[in-house]
Chain A
């Protein structure tokens, strides 16, 4: 068994008086593709945002790569953040930069690679993400939703991160595109030895991409494990979830 790369323990989150997470604990192992599942408004994205330090939680602890977040110096945070990248639900591309600049910018900021090579890397990441050649020099406002998502994935992959966080990666894609996206994530995970955390609804993703997943139900972790285990688990919510939810 490989080590846990992310360890969440008793994380409690409150918005005002409303409890979102009540002492939830999960483990993500190195090199696996891990899913965070749950109904709308169950706090999946919130949990993701807490892991990537965009949101604070009330109590409990989250450890990433052996470092306990919330107790780090500014310098440690900057270094730690270089280990992961995030694909936001709607892409979140920088609107003042064109596609290739969007992909290049982390490389320009954080590495000393020559310009030519950066461009080459950016082009190859765009191809990897399945974006058409013609879109390379367009601005985000000129892209369709699916193209934005692909460009954003290319940006997320630019730095070859150890951990990749994906927030509903297949929502807004056509079925064929979504399937290709799923296959791509699988391929990337095995070739680049990525650990991938996916927040998703998509049944196809759950079946074909995830190694393990957790289901958030009524503020708690209802289940954590593989699909086979989930199918054996007797609970109406899981049965319904794995049958009905579509991306």
Chain B
């Protein structure tokens, strides 16, 4: 089947005969021929469409483009034998033909571009850090202002966030904390049994859970759950212009969105940690009973005797810091979202990674400081 026949009369003139169909299903086969004609220096080209049965927009566009290119190369083009419909379609295609704009692509230099990228990254990081400082400063100042005008505070929103980020997180916090308590006791039990120091399982599990592990586990779970949801919520609001709407109505987004979330986590985190303490130690108790034969009563009496209250208090003392950190990072990254839906995903990822990292870093710092001052 040859629906695009090229008859070369001489080096200056050529006839093209189009027959049957010229549409987007049949064009692929003939496209190379079309390109070839475009590149040759003809001065007269006749396109005969009398045998053509059907033409669609793609075909019309191709003819329009072919004749335009030929005309640019100073050839005269005659299109003949078209029926009325095809003619108007071709006219329409001609009208809508748009030459490619040459886009200047900056060539990447493989030696310099890493330096440029590193520089760009550094500038972005500094900008983002300054933005964070101003965001945090604004939040703190708004917080003190709200203390002076407490009737303006959004109590209901705060309660909702305590429920969503706190109460609803309890099952997953319980499960992780329980498993960690269980695993620690399990690994410890084997070692302690070698020395016959079975009863020390109580000290080990209680102190490590109270002081370090429960706060950390709770914070990491909450960072994964709530930092991401805060970023995604606020980011979406930014894209749908909800935040702009708030600003234009004189509602302060910090008051409406940020403070309730931060306060919710400040309140909820110590409670979550306390809950994680109980469940974690309970996990240890089960292992102590099953593999070391220490009864629950024995465990509790021993814990009362040897575990100082300060360990629990230290764990609870850390919790609000973590809460503040997670909520602030989550909200801040949400406000950084711009334009596209992709940017929500981008900043949500960053927000969770940041929140978890800063929780761990902050935990290490507090540990060192407390140990140094001898608590």
A residues apposed to B, CB below 8 Å: 95-96, 111-114, 117, 119-121, 123-128, 133, 136-137, 139-142, 160, 187, 191-192
Residues of A within 8 A of B338 (CB): 141
Q: Are A127 and B96 in contact (CB under 8 A)?
A: yes
Closest to A110 in B: B24
Interchain CB contact under 8 A, B88 and A191 = yes
Known: A95-B340, A120-B65, A139-B340. 10 other contacts (CB 8 A): A96-B341, A96-B342, A113-B24, A114-B28, A121-B61, A128-B96, A133-B101, A136-B101, A140-B340, A187-B92
User: Residue B31 contacts which of A95, A114, A133 (CB distance < 8 angstroms)?
Assistant: A114
With contacts A113-B58, A114-B28 taken as known, whether A124 is within 8 angstroms of B93 at the C-beta atoms is: yes
> Closest chain B residue to A129 by CB distance?
B96
| Contact between B98 and A117, CB atoms less than 8 A apart | no
Name which residue of chain B comes closest to A107, CB basis: B24
Q: Within 8 Å CB of B27, what residues of A?
A: 113, 117
A142 to B339, CA, bound (A): 8
Contact of A96 with B340 in the complex, beta carbons under 8 Å? yes
Q: Is the interface of A mostly helix, strand, loop or mixed?
A: helix
| CB pairs A–B below 8 angstroms (8 shown) | A111-B24, A113-B28, A117-B27, A120-B61, A121-B58, A160-B24, A160-B56, A192-B89
Decide yes or no whether B132 CB sits under 8 A from chain A: no
> Which chain B positions have C-beta within 8 A of A133?
98, 101
Give the contacting residue for A124; candidates B24, B25, B61; CB below 8 A.
Answer: B61
- How many Å from the CB of B15 to the closest CB on chain A? 23
Q: How far is the CA of A191 from the CA of B58 in the complex (A)?
A: 13
Q: Which residues of B contact A191 (CB under 8 A)?
A: 88-89, 92
Q: Is B156 an interface residue (CB 8 A)?
A: no
A-contact bits for B72-99, CB 8 A (1 contact / 0 none): 0000000000000000110011001111
Minimum CB distance partner of A157 in chain B? B57
B262 CB, nearest partner CB in chain A, Å: 29
Residues on B lying within 8 angstroms of A by beta carbon are 24-25, 27-28, 31, 56-58, 61-62, 65, 88-89, 92-93, 96-101, 103, 338-342
A-chain residues with CB within 8 Å of residue B100 when the two chains form the complex: 119-120, 123
Across the interface, which residues of A come within 8 angstroms of B339, CB to CB? 95, 139, 141-142
Provide the residues of chain B in CB contact with A140, threshold 8 Å. 340
Question: Max chain B CB contacts within 10 Å: which of A121, A127, A133?
Answer: A121
Interface centre among B25, B61, B96 (most CB of A within 10 A): B96
The one of B97, B98, B341 in contact with A95, judged by C-beta atoms closer than 8 angstroms, is B341
CA–CA, A141 to B25, complex, Å?
34
**Residues of A contacting B101 with CB < 8 Å?**
133, 136
Q: How far is the CA of A139 from the CA of B342 in the complex (A)?
A: 12
B342–A112 CB distance below 8 A: no
Which chain B residues lie closer than 8 Å to A112 at the CB level? Answer: 28
Bound-state CA distance A126–B339 (Å) is 22
Minimum distance in angstroms from A140 CB to a CB of chain B: 7
Q: How far is the CA of A176 from the CA of B255 in the complex (A)?
A: 42
Q: How far is it, in angstroms, between the C-alpha of A114 and the C-alpha of B98 when the chains are bound? A: 17
Considering only CB atoms, which chain B residue lies closest to A142 in the complex?
B339
Q: How far is the CA of A104 from the CA of B6 in the complex (A)?
A: 30
Q: Which residue of B lies closest to A188 (CB)?
A: B92
For A141, the chain B residues whose CB sits under 8 A away are 338-340
Query: Chain A residues near B99 (CB, 8 Å)?
Result: 123
Pairwise interchain contact A123-B98, C-beta atoms closer than 8 A: yes
**Complex-state Cα separation, A128 to B94, whole angstroms:** 11
B57 touches A126 (CB 8 A): no
Q: How far is the CB of B40 from chain A (nearest CB, A)?
A: 17
A126 to B100, CA, bound (A): 12
B30 to chain A, nearest CB (A): 11
Is B89 within 8 A of A95, CB to CB? no
Compute how far the CA of A127 lies from the CA of B94 in the bound complex, rounded to whole angstroms: 11
| A112 CA to B29 CA, complexed, in Å | 10
Question: By CB atoms of chain B within 10 A, which of A114, A120, A128 has the most?
Answer: A120
Q: Looking across the interface, which residue of chain A has its beta carbon closest to that of B57?
A: A160
Bound-state Cα–Cα, A124 to B65, Å = 10
Min CB distance B166 to A, Å, is 32
- For residue B214, give the distance in angstroms from its CB to the closest CB of chain A: 41
Q: A123-B98, A136-B101 are in contact. Are A117 and B92 (CB under 8 A)?
A: no
- What is the minimal beta-carbon distance from B99 to any residue of chain A, in angstroms? 8
CB distance from B62 to the nearest CB of A (A): 7
Q: Roughly how many angstroms separate A139 CA and B98 CA in the complex, as a whole number?
A: 20
A192 shortest CB reach to chain B, Å = 6
Closest to B340 in A: A95
Can you name the residue of chain A whose Cβ is closest to the Cβ of B56? A160
B293–chain A nearest beta-carbon distance, Å: 59
CA gap between A122 and B163 in the complex, in Å: 51
* Chain A residue with the shortest CB-CB distance to B342: A96
Expressed in whole angstroms, the Cα–Cα distance for A95 and B97 within the complex equals 26
Contact A137 B103 (CB under 8 A): yes
B340 proximity list for chain A (CB < 8 A): 95-96, 139-141
Chain B residues near A192 (CB-CB < 8 A): 57, 89
Q: Of B58, B93, B100, which is in contact with the most chain A CB atoms at under 10 Å from its CB?
A: B58
Find chain B residues with CB under 8 A from A127 CB: 96-98
- In the complex, what distance in Å separates the CA atom of A191 from the CA atom of B60? 12
- Taking a contact as CB atoms under 8 Å apart, the answer to whether A117 and B31 are in contact is yes
Alpha-carbon distance A123/B98, docked complex (angstroms): 6
In the bound complex, CA of A113 to CA of B29 (Å): 9
- With a CB–CB cut-off of 8 A, which chain A residues contact B92? 187, 191
List A contacts of B88 (CB < 8 A): 191
